[in-house]
Structure 1
Amino acid sequence: MGSAHDPQTTTVVLGSASPARFRVLTGAGLRPTVVVSDVDEDALLDELAGAPHAQIVTRLAEAKADAVVETVVAAAGAAAADSVILTCDSMLLFDGELAGKPHTAEVAVARWRRMRGDTGHLITGHCVRRIRDGVVVGSAGGSESTAISFSDAPDHVIEAYAATGEPLEVAGAFTLDGLGGWLIDGIDGDPSSVLGISLPLVRRLLADVGVEVTELWTA
């Protein structure tokens, strides 16, 4: 499905409110439009209970993609001549359990006390949908897992980190490109995936729907 279309006619839509994902894509030469999905993640997680971990995060990304496609097509209809929708969902696998955003400082502190000095795996599910003339003509999905080595941070450091608010609304209660970077001793895998969107995986998924990533680069 190789294409020779003008890259200026292809719209990239990021279905996420994550500033980190937006920065990764813009830093990598894309100029995405942001359309935030409206998905009941908790209800979907209940439905997926017991499924393989990678399948859970990928299914969450697919649900977000479905919602964003509906929004884009409803707004533009056939005017959505050639678009690619990119959505992701990240969760931390630690001690056999998946964890998302802690939401409160108390939960973040409790998680960090369990994780410190140990290793977890951040799993990010990805979905790509290609739209032409208001119709989905290609879909691809997959996940990326990266090992995270957490520092053996003392209680007062963990509490100070939680008090900043940064870890409350990020998967796994940490960031790599913010204050949390001080508390990560190392990673084994794709760095961009830890920031929320794996560039190598997105490149492969784009190819699966007939889009070469170089066609989406902006000057």
Structure 2
Amino acid sequence: MDEGNSRLIILASGSPRRRELLSLLGLTFEVVTSEADESTPPEWTPERIVRSLALRKAEAVAADSNQRNAVIVGSDTIVVLDGLVLGKPVDKQDSRATLNVLQGRSHQVYTGVACIGLPEGRILVNHRVTTVTMRALSPEEIEAYVATGEPADKAGSYAIQGLGSTLVEKIDGCYFNVVGLPLSLLSGMLSELGIQVLDRQGE
């Protein structure tokens, strides 16, 4: 095995969805939850928010791992409607309000990805944008979906990989980006750091 593909991947996220997605690539990885500050100035663009927070998360984990032959992967996802960033809901009422403004309209999902190669410290940062169109929803449908508890910790108050799939009419762009980790983008970034995803299959 070459030196690049012997590198450990460390996912700087406690998200079970990102962990599940990364496992689809057949890569050996560890999960280390980042405790990075996720606050951002209100004037930042969506691109700057996701790219900066993805890097901030990766850097926080890299600080404790800089003696290892590893690639740290950080990621951040936000939902944007008419330029307004919609974060994770604070409660059920917030989920209802978010779904009410999203229903029947199109919005954008931004996910930033940052990779830090250690010990050399090479940094790669990129992002993807996917447009999601949600079908028109009745108040009863919104209430029933909120009652499932699924929206609780999701940006935009829905999970496209779960029951939230029934709310989505169509998407334009990468599906995995909406879930929280654009795999094609990540694969290309890992390749730049010497980890060839397809070469590892069957090892």
- TM-score normalised to structure 2 length: 0.93
* TM-superposed deviation, 1:207: 2.8
Asked whether 1:113 is paired with 2:100, we answer yes
Tell me, what secondary structure is at the counterpart of 2:56? helix
217 and 173 in structure 1: CA distance in 2 versus 1, 3 angstrom threshold: farther
Query: Are the aligned partners of 1:31 and 1:218 in contact in 2 as well (CA < 8 Å)?
Result: no
- 1:53 deviates by 1.5
1:32 Cα deviation from its structure 2 partner = 1.9
Partners of 2:155 and 2:166 in 1: CA distance:
17
Q: Which ranges in structure 2 are unaligned for 5 or more consecutive residues?
A: none
Give 1:38's aligned residue.
Answer: 35
Unpaired stretches in structure 1, ≥5 consecutive residues: none
1:151-170 alignment to 2 at 5 Å? 151-170=135-154
Q: Contact 1:139–1:209 at 8 Å: present in 2 too? A: no
- Of 3, 6, 10, 1:5 maps to 3
RMSD after superposition:
1.8
Report how far residue 216 of structure 1 moved.
4.8
CA distance in 1, matches of 2:79, 2:200: 30
Q: Residue in 1 aligned with 2:160?
A: 176
Q: Provide the secondary structure at the position in 2 that maps to 1:176.
A: coil
SS in 1 for 2:35: coil
**1:30–1:216 contact (8 Å) kept in structure 2:** yes
* 1:139 aligned partner: 123
> What CA deviation, in whole Å up to 9, does each residue of 1:84-122 have, x standing for no partner?
111100000102111121131111100111110000010
Q: Number of matched residues?
A: 203
Aligned-residue offset at 1:210: 3.4
Alignment correspondent of 2:115: 128
- If each structure's helix is expressed as a fraction of its own residues, which one has the higher value? 1
**Amino acid paired to 2:164:** G
State the shift of 1:203 in Å: 1.7
- What TM-score, normalized to structure 1? 0.86
For residues 3 and 83 of structure 2, the distance between their equivalents in structure 1, rounded to whole angstroms, comes to 45
